[in-house]
Amino acid sequence: MTNPIYLALDVPRLEDGVALAKKVKGHVGGIKLGLEFFCAHGAHGVHLIAQVGLPIFLDLKFYDIPNTVAGAMQAIHVLEPSIVTVHASGGRAMLEDAKAAAAEHTKVVGVTMLTSMDQRDLERTGVEGSAHDHVMRLAELSKDAGLDGIVCSGQEIKSVHDQWKDGFFVVPGLRPAGSAVGDQKRVVTPRQARDHGASVLVIGRPISRADDPAQAARAIEATL
């Protein structure tokens, strides 16, 4: 089994990011670079992390008109990401154009409902109905638009997997039993997410803030 853990490298200093990626190499399956990293270090930073030799998940959560998203997607071909995120709520045309503009070997996944949101947060954005139904609706839209899969919490992954057997599913908001939840609200353990069909487990602070990140990653992998 390939290691499904992608370390979310949400660190402000590039040197720290490179050091951390080197430390966990061999204990994770890939590195996720998100908005914090990309805004601070751009393409140069992505190239440096890629040199460590792990697959790169570029989590830029594109959300704009189709033409703009397609242009952005083309602009990141040079970074050769294995996975890229777009917001599923951007609508069918945006999702279709995002996928059409992506490099052949890049998986495009739609972010459904952020794991930092709960039912009340959802209602306050004007969406009626349950978080579960909202995620299922956006999963169906992503599938119909030709995306490779979605990002959702571990609370929905089982239902999504039941509906979309060959989908590629990224699950963040993961916490090993007993670790601090922080700003995440829809949380499960890495093992639960894996058992219910997650393809990729995105884990940040439980590894990056551990005294020994490599050991923390190994300990989580041992639970899978």
Ligand X SMILES: O=C(O)c1cc(=O)[nH]c(=O)n1[C@@H]1O[C@H](COP(=O)(O)O)[C@@H](O)[C@H]1O
> What positions carry a catalytic annotation?
59, 61, 64
Q: How far apart are CA 152 and CA 90, in angstroms?
A: 16
Residues 76/86, Cβ–Cβ less than 8 Å: no
217 sits near ligand X (criterion: CB under 6 A): no
Residues 159/136, Cβ–Cβ less than 8 Å: yes
Q: How far apart are CA 190 and CA 203, in angstroms?
A: 8
CA distances from 142 to 63, 105, 136, 213 (A): 14, 18, 10, 34
**CB of residue 10 to ligand X, shortest distance in Å:** 5
> Which 26-85 residues touch ligand X, going by CB under 6 A?
34, 59, 85
Residue nearer to ligand X on the CB measure, 30 or 67: 30
216 sits near ligand X (criterion: CB under 6 A): no
205 sits near ligand X (criterion: CB under 6 A): yes
- Kindly report the number of other CB atoms within 10 A of residue 220's CB atom: 25
121 sits near ligand X (criterion: CB under 6 A): no
57 among annotated binding-site residues: no
The correct pick among 204, 213, 217, 220 for binding ligand X (CB under 6 A) is 204
165 among annotated binding-site residues: no
38 among annotated binding-site residues: no
115 sits near ligand X (criterion: CB under 6 A): yes
**166 DSSP 8-state letter:** T
CA distances from 139 to 7, 60, 110, 157, 180 (A): 24, 19, 8, 10, 29
- Kindly report the number of other CB atoms within 10 A of residue 115's CB atom: 24
10 sits near ligand X (criterion: CB under 6 A): yes
**CB of residue 72 to ligand X, shortest distance in Å:** 16
Residues at the contact surface with ligand X, assessed by CB under 6 A: 8, 10, 34, 59, 85, 111, 114-115, 151, 172-173, 182, 184, 202-205
